Structure 1
Amino acid sequence: MERKQAAVLLLSIKGLLFSSAVRVLPSSNPAAVGDNLTLSLWPVGDLRGGSWAVGDTFILTWLGDQQAVFPDHSGRATVDVRTAALTLRSLTLADSGVYVVQSSDPPLRANVSVTVLEPVSNVTLGANQSHLLESSPALLTCFISSGSSPSFRWFNGSSEVTAHQRVTLSHRNSTLAILTVSRYDGGPFRCFAFNPVSNGTSDPFSFTVTYGPDNMALTVNEQHAATSFVSGSNLTLQCSAQSGPPALLRWAFGGRFLNATGPALGLVHVNQDHSGPYSCLAFNNETKRSSNITKDILITKSHTPALKPHTFPMWLLPMMPWLGFLLSALGKRCDMITND
C-alpha cells in the first residue's frame, strides 16, 4: 500500500514538473486577421492524447492518431498528433484569447495569451484647407479604413513632426494642429499609421502658404555697401524680396515712379543728375501687403587728370627769326624743284 502511494506521488511530481517546464510558443503574437497561427510546445513531449481550448471553448481533442474538432472551429483547426502543435487558419478578431493545452498521459496543462489584430489599410490624409496665410492655423487629420489599435506619426518632408510650441497632436496623434503656420510649413506632409502587425503611409499633401513681402535687399553692381560712383559708370540695381507668391517689383527715383518693373534696373553712362534716392517697392497681390527699400546713390565727377602743357627751351628764343628764314627758303627751294 505504501509503495502504491509512493508511485502515485512520484507520478504526480513528475507530471507537475513536466507541466511547469512546458511552454506554448505562438508562431506570431500578436497575429494578423486572415493569417495562420501555430501553437507549439517546448520542449516537445510524447503526449498520447489531450485537448486544446480557448478560454472556456473547446477547439479539439485527440487520442493517438485520431482527432475531433468542435463545430466552432470546424475546417480551421488541426493538431499534429506527434507534437501536439495546434494550427488555426484564417484568424479572426474573435480568435484572441488564452489558449490552453491539457493532457492526462502524461499529466500536462500549459497556456498562452494570443492577440489577433486587424491590419491597417487605406491610410489617407485630410486638411481643413489647402491655401493658408502665414501665421494662420492649420489642421491635418489621418484616416484609416481599418486597423486595430493604430498609432500615428507625422512627417514634413523627411523630418518627423513632433509636438512643440506651435504644434499639437491629439486623438492618439491622428490629428496634427499647427497653431501659426510659417512659410516653411508647406510640406509635403505624410501620415504614417501602424500597429504591431502592419503599417501604411498616406499620399503626400502640401499647403500653399502666402507670405511677405519682407526681408528686402538692394545691391548696386552686386555690392551691398557701395553708394558712390563716378560719372560715366554703368550701374545695375538689383532688388529682392522674400514673398509667396513672388512680389511685383517697381522702381522709383526721388519719390517718383520710374517706367521700370522687375528685379533689375539698369543705368547707362550716369552723371551727377543721377544722384539721389533709388527705391524698390514690392507688392504681394495675395497677402495685399507691401514693403520697400531705399538706397542713396552719389555720382561724382570724373577723376581723370588734365593734360600738362608742353615745355619749350628758352635758349632757342633768339634763334627764332633765323629758323623762320631757313624754313621759308627751304619751302621756296622745294617749289622750284617741283616746277622743274
Structure 2
Amino acid sequence: MQPPSACPCRGGIPWQGVLLAVSLLTFWNPHPTAQLTIEPVPSDVAEGRDVLLLVHNVSGNAVGYAWYRGQITDRTRLIVSYSNLTHSATPGPAFSGRETVYPNGSLLFVNLKKEDTGFYTLQTTTDNFDAEVATEEFCVHEKLPKPNITINNSQPMEGEDSLALTCEPEIHYATYLWKIKNQTIPDGDRLKLSNNNRTLTLFSVTRNDTGPYECETQNPVSASHSDPLTLSISCE
C-alpha cells in the first residue's frame, strides 16, 4: 500500500507542497530594513570637547530630520530640524547655537557642557510621510581637579591610634585609587577601603605605615594624582 499523499487532518496538503511553499517564501521574503540607529562618537566626552551623533541606516527616501533633547519628540524640546527638499536647517526651542545638523541627519555638538549629558532623539520623515525614531545618550565628564589627602589625626600614636585618610574632593562618577610607596594598596585586616575607595583607614598604626601615600581620581576621559603624603607617627 502506498503512503497517503496528504496529512490525515482535514484540509491537509501534501508534504511536498509544504516544502515547496516554504522554499518559495524563503526565496522571495525580502530582508527586513535595517533599523535607524545613532552612534555617539565618542560616547564619553570631556567638558569643552565635541561629540558627533552619527546616524546609521537612514531611509533612502528620507526628506527631513528633527533632533530632540530627551527621549520623546516634544516640540518644546526640538533642537533643530532639516529639510532635504530645501536643504535648510531650522532651529527649535532647545537650540543652543552649538549644534550643526548635516544632510545625512547626523548632528555635531560642540563645546560640550556637563549639563549636555543625556538622551537625544532623532525623528526622520520620508516622502510618503512615514516616520522613524531612534534615541541614544552620551555622557559629558568634567575635567578632574588635582586631589589632595586629608587626615583625621595629625599626631597618631604607634600601636594605639587608627587613621582615616580621605581623598578630596568628593566627585560623583569618579573612581578612587590609593597607592603606598608606588604600590596599589590592597584591602586587608589593617587597611580598609570605604565602599567607593575614597577613604583609606589604617588600624593600629606602626612606624612602617609612614608612607608616602598617594590618591588618584579617574573618570572615562581623565585622571589626576595627589601630591604624596608622609605620615608622622609618634612612639609612646
Task: Report the TM range for the smaller structure's normalisation.
Answer: 0.7 to 0.9
Instruction: Say which of 163, 169, 176 aligns to 1:144.
Output: 169
Q: How does 1:14-53 map to 2 (within 5 A)?
A: 17-18=32-33, 20-43=34-57, 46=60, 47-53=62-68
Report if the CA contact (8 A) 1:69-1:78 is conserved: no
- Superposition RMSD in Å: 2.5
Instruction: Say which of 54, 59, 67 aligns to 2:79.
Output: 59
Residue 74 of structure 1 aligns with an amino acid whose one-letter code is: S
Alpha-carbon distance between aligned partners in 2 of 1:189 and 1:74, rounded to the nearest angstrom: 44
Instruction: Say which of 168, 183, 204 aligns to 2:207.
Output: 183
| Structure 1 residue 17, shift from structure 2 partner | 4.3
Where does residue 114 of structure 2 map in the other structure?
Answer: 93
| Structure 1 residue 209, shift from structure 2 partner | 2.8
Write 1 or 2 for the structure with the bigger share of helix. Answer: 1
Q: How many matched pairs?
A: 196
SS at match of 2:189: coil
Where does residue 105 of structure 2 map in the other structure?
Answer: 84
| Structure 1 residue 114, shift from structure 2 partner | 2.1
Larger RCO, structure (CA 8 Å, separation 6 or more) = 2
Structure 2 gap segments, 5+ residues each: 1-29
Alpha-carbon distance between aligned partners in 2 of 1:17 and 1:78, rounded to the nearest angstrom: 31
Alpha-carbon distance between aligned partners in 1 of 2:132 and 2:58, rounded to the nearest angstrom: 12
Where does residue 329 of structure 1 map in the other structure?
Answer: none
Write 1 or 2 for the structure with the bigger share of strand. Answer: 1
Task: Provide closer, same or farther for how the CA distance between residues 170 and 203 of structure 1 changes in structure 2, counting only shifts above 3 A.
Answer: same
SS at match of 1:94: helix
Greater shift, 173-182 or 86-95, is seen at: 86-95
> Rg bigger for which structure?
1
Instruction: Say which of 85, 94, 105 aligns to 1:72.
Output: 94
Instruction: Say which of 216, 219, 227 aligns to 1:192.
Output: 216
Residue 149 of structure 1 aligns with an amino acid whose one-letter code is: Y
| Structure 1 residue 151, shift from structure 2 partner | 1.7
| Structure 1 residue 165, shift from structure 2 partner | 0.5
SS at match of 1:59: strand
Alpha-carbon distance between aligned partners in 2 of 1:134 and 1:161, rounded to the nearest angstrom: 20
Greater shift, 104-113 or 48-57, is seen at: 104-113
What TM-score, normalized to structure 2? 0.74
Residue 27 of structure 1 aligns with an amino acid whose one-letter code is: V
Where does residue 302 of structure 1 map in the other structure?
Answer: none
Residue 168 of structure 2 aligns with an amino acid whose one-letter code is: F
| Structure 1 residue 44, shift from structure 2 partner | 5.7
Instruction: Say which of 92, 100, 123 aligns to 1:102.
Output: 123
Structure 1 gap segments, 5+ residues each: 1-13, 212-286, 288-340
| Structure 1 residue 43, shift from structure 2 partner | 4.0
Q: How does 1:250-269 map to 2 (within 5 A)?
A: none
**Percent sequence identity over aligned pairs:** 26
1:117 aligned onto 2:141: yes
